[in-house]
């Protein structure tokens, strides 16, 4: 599914959202309608086909059902108002708002040419750290990192991030991010992303002993679920992650970098399948 800022018509967005959910889980128009608080399971299907429109009230229900937060929710509202406006003059202010959000929150899609970005924790951290530490040397940035990294490694990371366009250096020598967020291309990038995820999960395990409880949040719970319950929980995690990203995006005076890992994995095989063997 495309990034929300690539859409100009909310009907298409709703259709793609439904198809993406159905592709990865037991999702139906009835369940989608229930999430949005609609009694009719056909209403959202008609909206997705452009045969019906959202109102200001139903628009907010959809934001909740689709787990939109922060700039994504703002963009969705502007897009609904843009599509529902009666004439060009009425559409224009909403179009400008959509453009403003799309430019400010442009997402970089990492392709195979920049696969090195996922080589360990250093590149994602330095990408965030360099703009925060204006005028800092690679050695100073290295000292700011909780995990061991040399000044040479920081310099190498800065060179890579600048060369492939993750960072831009202005006339004053300060680094700026070229895009607000980074996501991986779905085209053969899974192996690289999985390697980074394993690295970050390992660091999360080490944090239990390395950092005081006041500076970290680690919790766990063991659950009994079926496939449908798992999929509901997975969607809740995805929605929660989006809300967390929105909170971080709204922070203007950030002074520290954190890593958040969301994990949901099996501890047993399916009991019913074991009984059938």
- Residue 141 CA to chain centroid, in angstroms? 26
Long-range contacts of 218-222 (CB under 8 A, 24+ apart): 222/267
Strand bridging mode 175-177 / 167-169: antiparallel
3-class secondary-structure state, position 134: coil
> In which element (H, E) is residue 72 found?
helix 71-84
Q: Which residue has the higher pLDDT, 211 or 246?
A: 211
110-210: CATH, from 1.20.1280, 2.40.390, 3.30.70, 1.10.10? 1.10.10
Question: Rounded to whole angstroms, what are the CA distances from 47 to 16, 73, 258?
Answer: 12, 18, 39
> In which element (H, E) is residue 21 found?
helix 10-24
**Is domain 4-105 classified as CATH 1.10.260?**
yes
The pLDDT of residue 107:
82
3-class secondary-structure state, position 212: coil
Q: How far apart are CA 24 and CA 274, in angstroms?
A: 24
In this model, does residue 105 exceed pLDDT 90?
A: no
**Tens digits of residue pLDDT in 111-134:** 777 788 998 999 999 999 999 999
Query: Of 107, 123, 150, which is closest to residue 242 (Cα–Cα)?
Result: 107
In this model, does residue 81 exceed pLDDT 70?
A: yes
Domain boundaries, the chain: 4-105, 110-210
Q: Which residue has the higher pLDDT, 215 or 41?
A: 215
User: What is the residue whose two structure tokens read 């944090």?
Assistant: 207
In this model, does residue 163 exceed pLDDT 70?
A: yes
Q: What is the mean pLDDT of residues 180-208?
A: 87
Give pTM, 2 decimals: 0.75
The confidence band for 161, taking pLDDT boundaries of 50, 70 and 90, is very high
């Amino acid at each position: 599914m495309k990034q929300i800022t690539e859409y100009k018509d909310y009907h298409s967005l709703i259709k793609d959202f439904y198809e993406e959910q159905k592709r990865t889980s037991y999702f139906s128009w009835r369940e989608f309608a229930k999430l949005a608080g609609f009694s009719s399971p056909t209403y959202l299907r008609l909206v997705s086909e452009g045969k019906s429109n959202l109102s200001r009230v139903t628009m907010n229900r959809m934001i909740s059902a689709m787990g939109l937060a922060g700039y994504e929710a703002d963009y969705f509202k502007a897009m609904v108002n843009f599509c529902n406006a009666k004439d060009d003059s009425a559409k224009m202010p909403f179009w400008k708002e959509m453009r403003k959000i799309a430019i400010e929150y442009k997402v970089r899609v990492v392709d195979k040419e920049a696969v090195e970005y996922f080589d360990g924790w250093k590149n994602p951290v330095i990408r965030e750290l360099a703009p925060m530490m204006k005028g800092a040397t690679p050695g100073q940035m290295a000292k700011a990192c909780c995990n061991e990294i040399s000044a040479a490694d920081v310099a190498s990371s800065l060179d890579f991030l600048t060369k492939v366009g993750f960072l831009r250096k202005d006339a004053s020598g300060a680094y700026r991010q070229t895009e607000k967020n980074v996501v991986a291309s779905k085209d053969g990038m899974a192996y690289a992303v999985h390697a980074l995820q394993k690295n970050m999960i390992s660091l999360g395990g080490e944090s239990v002993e390395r950092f005081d409880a006041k500076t970290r949040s680690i919790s766990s719970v063991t659950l009994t679920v079926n496939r449908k319950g798992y999929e509901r929980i997975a969607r809740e995690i995805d929605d929660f992650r989006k809300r967390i990203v929105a909170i971080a995006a709204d922070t203007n005076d950030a002074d520290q970098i954190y890593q958040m890992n969301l994990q949901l994995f099996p501890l047993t095989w399916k009991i019913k399948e074991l009984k059938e063997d």
